[in-house]
Amino acid sequence: MKVVFSTSGNTLDAPLDRRFGRASNFLVYDTETESFTVVDNRQNLNASQGAGIQAAQTVAGTGAKHLVTGHCGPKAFRVLNTAGIAIYTTDAATVADALRQFLSGELKTTGAADVDSHWV
């Protein structure tokens, strides 16, 4: 099973980026092989609009069906939901902490966007 984390770095120790659309990277963790790859999302850092939509499409492209992030806005939610991706929000400090929470079943899926458009 693949799980995607929004992060500002590219290791498990890196901070979990609370922002979904404008996170620098997505860390894609494979629970079967216990390994990960990193997908660049920096093209969205300066997007004037639609960063969440583009980021959601990128996450969908990884084939993962689980996303762990800080917050998710309405447009990203619509894309992720359509792609059948479950969204989990957390205030964990690092990707490793968030991964631990995810694996222990502490995180609940969110059924709706938890912030408005253009939430920073």
Partner 1 sequence: MILAVASGKGGTGKTTVSVNLARVAGRHVQLLDCDVEEPNAHLFLRGVLQRREEICVPVPQVDASLCTGCGECSGFCRYHAIASLESGALTFPELCHGCGGCSLVCPEKAITETGHRIGVVETSEADGITLIQGRLDIGVAMAPPLIRAAKSFLDEGAPAILDAPPGTSCPVIAAISDAHLVILVTEPTPFGLHDLKLAVDMVRELKIPAGVVINRVGLGDDRVHAFCREQGIPVLLEIPDDRKIAEAYSRGELAVDALPAYHAHFENLLFRSRELYRAIRSEHHADLRI
Residues that bind partner 1 (CB under 8 A): 47-51, 53-54, 56-57, 60, 75, 78-79, 82-83
Min separation Cβ 83 and partner 1, Å: 5
Min separation Cβ 47 and partner 1, Å: 7
Q: In the complex with partner 1, which residue's Cβ is closer, 14 or 56?
A: 56
Min separation Cβ 103 and partner 1, Å: 27
Query: Helices 51-61 and 74-82: crossing angle, nearest 10°?
Result: 20
- Contact between 95 and 14 (Cβ < 8 Å): yes
- Contact between 73 and 18 (Cβ < 8 Å): no
Min separation Cβ 20 and partner 1, Å: 14
Residues pairing with 30 in the sheet = 2, 35
Q: In the complex with partner 1, which residue's Cβ is closer, 33 or 120?
A: 120
**Which amino acid, 8?**
S
Q: In the complex with partner 1, which residue's Cβ is closer, 38 or 79?
A: 79
Alpha helices, H only, 2-94: 51-61, 74-82
Q: In the complex with partner 1, which residue's Cβ is closer, 69 or 90?
A: 69
Q: Which two tokens stand for residue 49?
A: 């609009």
Separation between Cα atoms, residue 120 and residue 103, nearest integer Å: 28
